[in-house]
Amino acid sequence: MKRLNWPTKSIYIPPATSLSKPKKDFVYDAIFIGGGAAGRFGSAFLRAMGGTQFTFEMDNHLGGQCCKHNCVPEHFAYDNAVYMDHLRWFSGLTWMPEIPDKIPMVPIFELFRKVRDTNVYKFMTDQSKDQLGIEFDIYKEAKIVDPNTVEVDGERYKARNLVIATGARPRIPDIPGVHLKNVLTNRELVNIDYEPEKVVVIGAGKTAAGYTSFFRACGCDVTVVNRSPIYRFLDDDVREFVISNMKRRGIKIYENVKIKEIRGTEKVEGVVIEENGVEKVIPCDTVFLGTGVIPNSEIAKPLGVEIGPNNEIVVNRKFQTSIPNVYAIGDVTGPPYVMSKARQSGMYAARNIMGEDVEMPNRTIPEFMFTTYEVTWVGLTEKQCREQYGDAVVIKMPPFNLDIGLPLAERSMIMAHVHPEMSGFQKAIIEPKSRRFVGFWHVGYGAKAAFQYLAVLLDKGLTVDEMATFHELFLNAEHFIQLTRLRAGQKNLTSL
Amino acid sequence: MKRLNWPTKSIYIPPATSLSKPKKDFVYDAIFIGGGAAGRFGSAFLRAMGGTQFTFEMDNHLGGQCCKHNCVPEHFAYDNAVYMDHLRWFSGLTWMPEIPDKIPMVPIFELFRKVRDTNVYKFMTDQSKDQLGIEFDIYKEAKIVDPNTVEVDGERYKARNLVIATGARPRIPDIPGVHLKNVLTNRELVNIDYEPEKVVVIGAGKTAAGYTSFFRACGCDVTVVNRSPIYRFLDDDVREFVISNMKRRGIKIYENVKIKEIRGTEKVEGVVIEENGVEKVIPCDTVFLGTGVIPNSEIAKPLGVEIGPNNEIVVNRKFQTSIPNVYAIGDVTGPPYVMSKARQSGMYAARNIMGEDVEMPNRTIPEFMFTTYEVTWVGLTEKQCREQYGDAVVIKMPPFNLDIGLPLAERSMIMAHVHPEMSGFQKAIIEPKSRRFVGFWHVGYGAKAAFQYLAVLLDKGLTVDEMATFHELFLNAEHFIQLTRLRAGQKNLTSL
C-alpha cells in the first residue's frame, strides 16, 4: 500500500495549454467574473448548451474558496475528528488502539494543503478544460466598465451578458481586539503554524460547529460563546441531543452572552463576556470566528445594480440583477450560502442567457452541520409543524429508551454496542391529517446523502403510505422507511 | 465516558408480562408462525389496522435470525473491518495510531453476543409489545393442522388466516468434508471460539463478500474459491474496482474452479479445487460457506401448498399460497432474500387479510454488499443498458484519472488525500434518448441510505434534467447531482 509521491513544486499552476486568451474582437454570450462553485458550474452549463464564454479568475485555480479554505478542509478536519473521537470512545475495547488526548493539528492542515496545492487544483483545471471545455484564465482581476464590458490588465472584453460570481468573505464582527494575532477565521486556520491549547469559538453557525468539534477532538480546551441560544434552527429534540453530547465531550457553552472584548497584547489571551450582567474572562490562546460571511459585491457597485442590506447583490429567480443582462450568482447574492444554490444559480443564469425563460424552482433545501455527528435535516421542526398545522405525529429513534443503541447503521454499529446512548438520534415529522411528511432529522452517520433525495420526495408530497412501500437497505443509516411501515397501518396515526 | 454495565444474566428472556397466552375459544384474523422480520412486521401492521393476531415464535426473541446471527453481526463485523483497514492504510500518517497485522476476532463476536443477548433481544420485546401491541409467545413450535388451525404444545388455535414466516437456513453444498469441524456458516461464526489463521471462503454472494473482508482485516490469510466468476451481478467497471481492491488487500481469488473436497481429519485442513483440469490443495484451518440459503418450507408441506424448485413456498404478489387463506412471507417464499421484501411481504399479507385487495408493487430494489467498501447499486449495468436500449451514456467518478481522489465525501476524505486511487468509484447509467437514469452504482462510504430513495426516483422516471435541479449536500457521498448538472446542458448527452 504505497503512499502517493507528492509532487515537489509547492503549488499547482495550470499549464499554458489549459488556459485560454480572451478574444478582443468578439462578443461572448457571457463573461463570468469568478470561477468558483457558481462561476465554474455556470460556465460549464453555458458551454454544454453551446454558448460562448470566458471566465476570469483572480486566484490560481477554478473551484473557488471551497477547495481552498472553506468546505473541503472543513470536511477533511471533520473526518479526522470523527476518527479521533471514535477511537477515544472505543479505546481499550477488544482490538481498539489507544490514542493520545492531545493530537497536533498542524500536520493535519499541512497534509490538506499538500494535496490541495497539487492534486485538487489540478483536478479543477483538468475537468474544467478537458471535460467541460471552459475557457478561462487565472490571476486575472476584472473591472466592470459597463453592462457589456470588462477590463482586465488594461484590455477591454465584450459580452452580451456579464455574470458576477465573486463569492463572499468571512464577516469580521465589531469586537475590540478582533485583529489580535491568533484570532482566526477558517481562512487562517488552514495555514495554522502553532498548536492551540485553549480555544474560544465565537458564533454558532455551521462552520463554527464543525471546527468546535475538531478543536475538541484534537484535545483543545474549547468554549463556545454566542449572543443567543446556539443551533436554534434545529428541532428541539435534535438540539438537545446535539448539545448534551457536546457537553459530554467536555465542550463548554455560554449562550445569551455579550461578547465584550478579545483581550491580549499582540496575541490573544482571553475573551471577555458578560453573562447576566456579570463580566467574565475566558482565558485562551486562540479565538475562532464563526460569525458568518459577507458578500463580495463591491465590484458591482459602480454599475449601480441594487445591493441589499447585507451587502448582497439583489437578484430575481433567474439570477438577473436590476440590470437584466448583468447576472449575479452564488454567495455574492446572499443567503442561503450553500454549495447547491451556488452551482444551480450558475445553471439558471446560463439557461436564461441562452434564451430560455426559466426560474430556479423553490425546492426545500436539505441542510447539515457537523458536531462529531453529522446532523442532517430537511423541512420543518416538530414545533413548526404544530404551529403550521395544529398537530404533529413523530417517528423517533431511539423511541423510548436511550440505553438501547439505535443502531444507526454503517459506522455506528460499534457505538451502538458500546455507547448506545451516543449512537445517534432521528426523527420524522408527519402532518397527520394529510399523512404527509413535513420534516426529517438525523444525528449520526451515513444518512447525509439520503437527505438530498428525501428533500425531493418531501416536495413531491410523500405520505407515510407511500414510504411504507419503499425498499430499505438494511441496516440503513436512517430508519425512516421501516419505522414508517410500523405505523402506516393505522387509520389515525400515532407517534412511534 | 463510562461504558454500559452489562447485565449479568447470559440471555434475555421476555418477562411474563410481555408475553401473551393464545386464546383457545377465539378465531384470530391471523396466526403468524414465526416472528422474524416478516412475521413481526406483518403482525405489527395487522395490529395497526385493528386486526387480531397471535404470533408463535420458536426462539427466545422476536426479530428472527437477522439480529441473532445474520445481518446484525455481519454489519458489526463489517464496521470493525472498516476501522481496521482504514487505520492500517492510514498508519503513521500524522496522528494515526499503529495497529497490529493480526487482530483477534473472538472478542469481537463476544461483544456482539453480549449486546445481542441482552439489549437487542430486549428491544425487540419492548418495541413489539409496548409500542406495537403484538401478541406473541416464545419457545413455541407450531404445527399446522389445517388452513385455519395450528397446534402448539398439544393445544389447537384457530384463525381465519395462517401466515407462514419461517425464514430460511444456510444452504450446505454437497462437497465431501463439508461437515468437518471448523467448516462454518455465518451461524457458527458468531459463536467462534478460536482464531482462524488461514480461511477459504466458498461462494461469492453478499454474505461471503462481507466476511471475506472481515477475515482479511483481522489479518487472516484469505482465499475465495468459486465455481463461476465472482460478483457477476456488478457493473463491469464497478466489479473491476472491487476485485482489484480485494487483490490489493492480499485476498486471493480462484474463479471458475471445481470445489472437489474439503480435506481434514476431524478439523478442516485444506480445500481441494480443480482449476483448468489441474488439482490444487489450498491449506487452511477454516472454511466459510457463503453458498446461499434454502427456505424453511417443510412446515407447509403437509398442507399441500405449492412448493417451488428451491424449496420455497410459491406465493402471488399478495403473498397468498395456493391455499388463499394461507399466506407465506419473507425468506420462506424464496429470493430475493432481502430485509425490505421480508418486512413488506408481512405488510401486504396483513392488508389483504384485513380486506384490502392489494399487490406488492414491482419496485426496483436497491442492493448492496460489503467488501471493505460499501458497494451499493440500483437498476441496470452499463452493459444491460446497451443491450436494452442500444446505447448508454455514463457519468463516472473518478472520471479519467485514478490519481485524483474522489473525494467520496464523509469518511473518505482522508483516503482521498492519502490513497486517492482507493477512495471509491461511482457511475450513473443514462439512456440518452429519453435522458432517463436507468442505473446508479457506488463503491465507497455513506451513500447506501441514499439508494433507498434513488431507487424510488428511478422508478418515477428521473431524468438528467430533473436531477440537475436537486440540491446536493456538499460533500455528498455520491456526486450524482452535481456531475449530472455538468452534463444536463447538452442537447445530445455525452459521457462524463
Contact B448 A477 (CB under 8 A): yes
The CATH H-level superfamily of A18-62+134-169+294-353 is FAD/NAD(P)-binding domain (3.50.50.60)
| Closest chain A C-alpha to B385 CA, distance in angstroms | 22
Per-residue tens of pLDDT for chain A, all 496 residues:
343 344 445 788 999 999 999 999 999 999 999 999 999 999 999 999 999 999 999 999 999 999 999 999 999 999 899 999 999 988 888 899 989 999 999 999 999 999 899 888 988 998 999 889 999 999 999 999 999 999 999 999 999 999 999 999 999 999 999 999 999 999 999 999 999 999 999 999 999 999 999 999 999 999 999 999 999 999 999 999 999 999 999 999 999 999 999 999 999 999 999 999 999 999 999 999 999 999 999 999 999 999 999 999 999 999 999 999 999 999 999 999 999 999 999 999 999 999 999 999 999 999 999 998 999 999 999 999 999 999 999 999 886 554 666 665 566 778 777 787 788 899 999 999 999 999 999 999 889 999 999 999 999 999 999 999 999 998 888 889 999 999 999 999 999 8
Closest partner CB to A472 (pick from B126, B339, B350) = B339
The CATH H-level superfamily of B367-487 is FAD/NAD-linked reductase, C-terminal dimerisation domain (3.30.390.30)
Note the pLDDT of residue B412.
Answer: 74
Residue A6 touches chain B, beta carbons under 8 Å:
no
CA–CA dist A94, A97 (Å, integer)? 9
Cα dihedral sign for B359, B364, B370, B374? Answer: negative
Task: Provide, as residue numbers in chain B, all residues whose Cβ is less than 8 Å from the Cβ of A71.
Answer: 474-475
Task: Provide, as residue numbers in chain A, all residues whose Cβ is less than 8 Å from the Cβ of B72.
Answer: 407, 413, 475
| Largest CA-CA distance found in chain B, in angstroms, rounded | 72
Is residue A232 within 8 A of residue A260, CB to CB? The reply is no
Contact B411 A44 (CB under 8 A): no
The ipTM assigned to this model is 0.95
- Establish whether domains B22-169+294-353 and B183-291 are of one fold: yes
Tell me the DSSP string of B71-137. HHHHHHHHHHHHHHHHHHHHTTSTTPPP--S---SHHHHHHHHHHIIIIIHHHHHHIIIIIT---EE
Residue A463 touches chain B, beta carbons under 8 Å:
no
| Closest chain B C-alpha to A458 CA, distance in angstroms | 11
| Per-domain boundaries in chain B | 22-169+294-353, 183-291, 367-487
Residue B265 touches chain A, beta carbons under 8 Å:
no
Contact B66 A4 (CB under 8 A): no
Contact B111 A457 (CB under 8 A): no
**Continuous H helices in A295-369:** 339-353
**Given this structure, which CATH class describes domain B22-169+294-353?**
alpha beta
Contact B340 A122 (CB under 8 A): no
Task: Provide, as residue numbers in chain A, all residues whose Cβ is less than 8 Å from the Cβ of B453.
Answer: 450, 453-454, 456-457, 470
Sorted by sequence, the CB contacts under 8 Å of residue B210 that are 6+ apart come out as B74, B77, B78, B369, B370, B371
Q: Pick from A62, A207, A417, A462 the residue to mutate for testing the B interface (most B CBs within 10 Å).
A: A417
Which chain A residue's Cα is nearest to B365?
A471
Closest partner CB to A79 (pick from B80, B132, B413) = B413
Residue B204 touches chain A, beta carbons under 8 Å:
no
- The answer for A 109-148 residues in CB contact with B (under 8 A) is 111-112, 115, 119, 122-123, 126-127, 130-132
Q: Pick from A61, A79, A109 the residue to mutate for testing the B interface (most B CBs within 10 Å).
A: A79
- Nearest in space to B135 (alpha carbons), one of B249, B52, B76, B33: B52
Task: Provide, as residue numbers in chain A, all residues whose Cβ is less than 8 Å from the Cβ of B412.
Answer: 79
pTM beyond 0.90: yes
Sorted by sequence, the CB contacts under 8 Å of residue B120 that are 6+ apart come out as B63, B67, B72
Partnered with residue A370 across adjacent β-strands are A374
Chunked in runs of 10, what are the mean pLDDT values of chain B (496 residues)? 46 91 97 98 98 97 95 91 91 88 96 89 90 96 98 98 98 97 97 98 95 98 97 96 94 98 97 97 98 97 96 98 98 97 98 98 95 94 98 87 58 77 90 98 92 98 97 88 94 93
Fold of domain A183-291: FAD/NAD(P)-binding domain (3.50.50)
Residue A76 touches chain B, beta carbons under 8 Å:
yes
Contact A75 B376 (CB under 8 A): no
